[in-house]
Structure 1
Amino acid sequence: MMKTYKHMTLFLAAIFSSILSCKEDFRLPALDVVYQVQVSGHDVNFTNQTEGGTAYRWDFGDGESSTEENPTHTYPSKGKFVATLYVTAANGEIVEGSTVIRISKASPIRLDDKSLADWDTISTNRIQPGAAGGIINDIKLDYDGNYIYIYGELQTNKANADIFDIYIDSDNDAGTGLLTGTFTNGGFDILLEGVLLEGQLDIFYHNGAQSDFAFDQQSIAEAYQLGTVSSTSNEVRFEMRIDRTKLKGLTGTGMRIGFNAVKNDWSASIGFAPAEGDPAYYLNMED
């Protein structure tokens, strides 16, 4: 009997040891680190969707960090950054997940702010044709990954309903599109035409020989948008934007553009930017 009890004691000890070993090896299932990223210019919204976390730490990849669960971070410049979320689980274990954030050129221009003050920060990409510009005193251009922004100062009255022709060489290739004496160094693939200050522009694509003024009208929803218009009796300032994703060729690294204003009865040209016969303005969009 003593021998039997001895074997039983050893058996129970083995079971107890096995239970302890299993307990020591037991771990909660690893968390799946899940989050969403929304990029707007240099601002990025991070939204955690990880379930079961008790604490969070974000490393934004630019030397900055946050312990908020859903932070917003502004990156200092364009470039590629690796953002990492560290999540602490209930058992103290820390798991992580990373993603690459690509920041392209951002623009300070906002069409929904009911102001033109943001254009004060734009000093490059400017067309000032002088006396040869007629009613067009100043044009500024800016861009980001989605839009091309346009600002203008005009010596006119909004009630005049001046018609504008905006010529765009979307692929920066003089071998395609209309060749016109109005602006040189460009083959113009796109024409926006209409009463610009009323937000009424028709969209045309060139479809013929380069010497032919041959354009097909297109119907493209939300291809452009008029922003704030400020006017006095003899001066109008305005802003607008063109959607780069809607018009063919504008997602490239550069384009050429020229502005021609005419009276509302088409009787005479009254404004140019650049000056008539000068090269169309090249907007470098390599960023």
Structure 2
Amino acid sequence: MAGTSRKGARHLILSTLLLVYLKAMKVLSMEAWAVTEWGSAHATFYGGADAQGTMGGACGYGNLYSIGYGVKSTALSNGLLNSGLSCGACFKIVCQLDGSKWCYPGKQIVVTATNACPPGSEGGWCNPPKLHFDLSYPMFAQLAQRVAGVIPVKYRRVPCERQGGIRFTMHGNPWFDYVLVHNVGGMGAVCSVSIKGHKTGWYPMSHNWGQFWSASAHLVGQDLSFQVRLCKGKTQEFYNVAPSNWGFGQTFEADYNFY
């Protein structure tokens, strides 16, 4: 009986170790930008105490206060930016207490990806293949003391909580639609967009840069609808978001979001 018991215990231990290994392999096999279990990275800060230096940037959002993201933002290294398709994604970040004495215990933040931290940036922290978050200073200050400069962090993708519906800002000209997609809920980052007028079918849009999408379609004078696919695979249609008298430079908000 004792031998059988020991054999059962060994089997349980081996099974547990196998599950831990498979779970680790699952995390490692995911693209860094898509990790929904904890991954490892480092973080710094930029933009000054008022975060004014974080405005604009590689995602195209412009003024982060007026667009609704405020200071809860971060720039991403190339390994996390996913060629700009991670723009709008939300990340939960915690400082690793066993890696820096400057971390505040028990603190965590959720930030939106709004910019790129390009290779060659000061300190080389954003050089490939490093995974790095360049946080707004107000967000870094919630995790660690400023003197730390660089901190080791754990991070994971989380759903974005937004106020109101998904928004579309129209740019371009009568023959070229150039649309910024923002205030996206759910997993936040958009990987595909189509546009249609009430007299046409769907026109697939090309990823231009950041979260700007473009299509050569003449849709002036028509109600506009959009089909949006998130990078985690969920697709949703947003019908009649813009009325037929829409104009370039205007922003239109849908009645709903990815919830």
Verify same fold: TM over 0.5.
Answer: no
What TM-score, normalized by structure 1, do the two folds share?
0.21
Higher helix fraction (1 or 2): 2
What TM-score, normalized by structure 2, do the two folds share?
0.22
Higher strand fraction (1 or 2): 1
